[in-house]
Amino acid sequence: MYTKSEIAKKFDHTFLKAFGIKETIDTLCQEARELHTYSVCVNACWVSTCKENLKDSDVKVCSVIGFPLGQCGLETKLFECKYAIEQGADEIDYVIDVGQAKMHNWDYIQKEMDQLTQLCHDHQVKIKVIFENCYLEKDEIKKLSEIAKEVKPDFIKTSTGFGTGGATVEDVKLMKETVGDLVEVKAAGGIRDWNTCQAMLKAGATRIGISASKAVLDEIQ
């Protein structure tokens, strides 16, 4: 289906825990460089460190915004987003306000997605919209995907990895079927082996958020 190097280029090699220290981030970057992953994904305070570590490589730097709860307000998300971009982020993953989605306040969701997507695209930065599917009904996931199809962020994403559940094949299929070729899908949360990873790719994901990148790549023959 894919070569090992092609699979690595679908990985956002991730460390988002609260207890990260510089040594942790340096190791993450070194692993990403050796594995040739697409990016590292880190909290915003580590973006500049990663840019320095990876400056002579093709590994991108991704940062998370409104993470992991999504309920810090749009103005805060815009400020965080600007900060991460100023620090050198190549991509932004932001968490929607899940409460607004549960209340079916779709105008708010679209406004948030519009403004953050516009900000990123104005700076030639890619943006991924995290739904946090474990808290959503299937019709809510579909509605969010329909909004994304209209707004056209670069990706929609299943999960933060900090909720009550992560990516599922069923959700990835639903998201991909809804957005078609206009938006890509990132699967994240609980992907720790090649079988799970392969299932997400077959379901339509084109990017994988993963901390176990080396272990998964080592499984591939």
- The 3 state secondary structure assigned to the chain is CCCHHHHHCCEEEECCCCCCCHHHHHHHHHHHHHHCCCEEEECHHHHHHHHHHCCCCCCEEEEEECCCCCCCCHHHHHHHHHHHHHHCCCEEEEECCHHHHHCCCHHHHHHHHHHHHHHHHHCCCEEEEECCHHHCCHHHHHHHHHHHHHHCCCEEECCCCCCCCCCCHHHHHHHHHHHCCCCEEEEECCCCCHHHHHHHHHHCCCEEEECCHHHHHHHCC
Question: How much of the chain exceeds pLDDT 90, in percent?
Answer: 98
Which amino acid, 161?
A: G
* pLDDT above 80 for 33: yes
Q: What pLDDT is attached to residue 2?
A: 84
Report in angstroms the alpha-carbon separations of 86 from 10, 47, 141: 25, 9, 31
The topology under which CATH files domain 4-219 is TIM Barrel (3.20.20)
Which amino acid, 97?
A: D
Mean pLDDT computed over every residue of the chain: 97
Q: What pLDDT is attached to residue 216?
A: 97
Section 133-160 average pLDDT: 98
Residue 221 pLDDT grade (very low, low, confident, very high; cuts 50, 70, 90): confident
For the chain, the structural domain boundaries read: 4-219
* Pairwise CA distance, residues 148 & 155, whole Å: 8
pTM of the model: 0.97
Catalytic residues: 93, 157, 186
**Per-residue pLDDT tens digits for 68-123:** 999 999 999 999 999 999 999 999 999 999 999 999 999 999 999 999 999 999 99
